[in-house]
Amino acid sequence: MKIPFLNLKPMHTEIRNEILAAFEKIYDKNLFILGDSVAAFEREFAKYCNVAYCISCGNGLDALSIILRGYDIGEGDEVIVPSNTYIATALAVSYVGAKVVFVDPDIKTFNIDINKINKAITQKTKAIIAVHLYGRPADIDKIRVICNNNNLKLIEDAAQAHGAIYNGKRTGNLGDAAGFSFYPGKNLGALGDGGAILTNDITLAKKVEAIRNYGSKIKYHNEYKGVNSRLDEMQAEFLRIKLKYLDKWNADRQNTVKLYLEKINNTKIIIPYINSPQESIWHIFAIRTEFRDKLQNHLNANGISTLIHYPIPIHLQKAYIDLGYKPGDFKVAETLSNTELSLPLWYGMSKNEINYIINTLNKW
């Protein structure tokens, strides 16, 4: 049996007719940028997250960097980010000229370690970016206390957590502002690039709305040196369709994960720590083992594709050589990069495929 790491086919077969109709609708309308469809998607996604404002943009990286710009965070400022995340979280900080300050994650939850944040705060710290890594909400209540005590903005990187719920609230509604990505492989993905900023802060909302569109609220009147980072009408229509199915698709992933959690019983493998399987929307199902590379080869030899999230921690990437870090500086991120393995997980996996993966793992 061959099982890809990600397979969008079941999802895209289900909505094929709706998507093609949406394509025709926009194609015939001949209006492609910042029209009714973008406005409708922004309304619908804001409502879904129960947040006052949604401002769409070109991608998740831009969403984060535009939020930072909206808060006037830049040169001379510091922003705390977890050391184990996709590099975009750190790049957003670098893009605005601020300094990235890493904090190691908790090895159990993979999210930023609450107990290590205080040590990283200085006079220059302006914000914490809490990443809901692999779909599991970060421990926001505790991060909120730290932010309040130190007058910091709490920014969510929700690029892996569309629809995840923390204490009854959806991600996107847990901080001062949140950045989402609609990269096709995310739980809510466009058919190309896309992103969004969510916030209840009207001042920020107005400012980021201008920044994403050349810094202009009124055509040819430019208040800020903005950027061109817009969601287009096509992608907005595709996302409106997919948003209707998001809860169903997330529930299907949760059901697959329930089987993984119940049935993977190989003692060489550490399965994810959980309170309840419903707390995460499982963008990624991350197992750990000391013998990670051997396991990856074993699965590969049996037709099962896996990925590592992430093989090189950001502080050891060539792009961040200027920060002067060396191996050993963020031990948990390094341990994860050496032991983590992400199993196939996508909407529409069959019982057969799931059981084949479980059996292949248990026989190893």
183 interacts with ligand PLP by CB under 6 A? yes
For ligand PLP, the closer of residues 131 and 269 by Cβ is 131
Return the residue nearest ligand PLP (CB atom).
Answer: 60
Build a one-symbol-per-residue string for 196-225: x at contacts with ligand PLP by CB under 6 A, - elsewhere: ------------------------------
280 interacts with ligand PLP by CB under 6 A? no
Q: How far is the CB of 262 from ligand PLP (least distance, A)?
A: 27
Which range binds ligand PLP by CB under 6 A, 54-62, 65-73, 285-293, 335-343?
A: 54-62
Build a one-symbol-per-residue string for 230-269: x at contacts with ligand PLP by CB under 6 A, - elsewhere: ----------------------------------------
Question: What are the catalytic residues?
Answer: 186
Please report where in the chains the tokens 């930072």 appear, as a residue: 68
Which range binds ligand PLP by CB under 6 A, 144-152, 154-162, 219-227, 299-307?
A: 154-162
Q: How far is CA 195 from CA 186, 311, 343, in A?
A: 11, 25, 25
Q: Is residue 142 within 8 Å of residue 118, measured between CB atoms? A: no
Closest CA to 299 of 345, 344, 253: 344
86 interacts with ligand PLP by CB under 6 A? yes
Which range binds ligand PLP by CB under 6 A, 56-64, 74-82, 107-115, 212-220?
A: 56-64
159 interacts with ligand PLP by CB under 6 A? yes
Q: How far is the CB of 31 from ligand PLP (least distance, A)?
A: 24
Build a one-symbol-per-residue string for 311-350: x at contacts with ligand PLP by CB under 6 A, - elsewhere: ----------------------------------------
For ligand PLP, the closer of residues 181 and 296 by Cβ is 181
SS (H, E, C) the chain: CCECCCCCHHHHHHCHHHHHHHHHHHHHHCCCECCHHHHHHHHHHHHHHCCCEEEEECCHHHHHHHHHHHCCCCCCCEEEEECCCCCHHHHHHHHCCCEEEEECECCCCCCECHHHHHHHCCCCEEEEEEECHHHCCCCHHHHHHHHHHHCCEEEEECCCCCCCEECCEECCCCCCEEEEECCCCCCCCCCCCCEEEEECCHHHHHHHHHHCECCEEECCEECCCCCECCCEHHHHHHHHHHHHHHHHHHHHHHHHHHHHHHHCCCCCCECCCCCCHHHCCCCCEEEECCCHHHHHHHHHHCCECCECCCCCCHHHCHHHHHHCCCCCCCHHHHHHHHHEEEECCCCCCCHHHHHHHHHHHHHC
Q: Is residue 240 within 8 Å of residue 26, measured between CB atoms? A: no
For ligand PLP, the closer of residues 131 and 198 by Cβ is 131
User: Buried b vs exposed e over 97-108: b needs ≥16 C-beta within 10 Å?
Assistant: ebebbbbbbbbe
Q: How far is the CB of 319 from ligand PLP (least distance, A)?
A: 15
Which of 38, 42, 55, 59 binds ligand PLP (CB under 6 A)? It is: 59
Q: How far is the CB of 265 from ligand PLP (least distance, A)?
A: 30
Q: How far is the CB of 314 from ligand PLP (least distance, A)?
A: 11
Which of 77, 157, 237, 252 binds ligand PLP (CB under 6 A)? It is: 157
Q: What's the gap between Cα 107 and its chain centre?
A: 18
Q: How far is the CB of 301 from ligand PLP (least distance, A)?
A: 29
89 interacts with ligand PLP by CB under 6 A? yes
131 interacts with ligand PLP by CB under 6 A? yes
> Total residues contacting ligand PLP (rule CB under 6 A)?
15
Which of 88, 243, 264, 295 binds ligand PLP (CB under 6 A)? It is: 88
Give the pair of three-digit tokens for residue 48: 């879904």
Q: How far is the CB of 61 from ligand PLP (least distance, A)?
A: 4
Binding site for ligand PLP (CB under 6 A): 59-61, 85-86, 88-89, 131, 157, 159-160, 181, 183, 193, 195
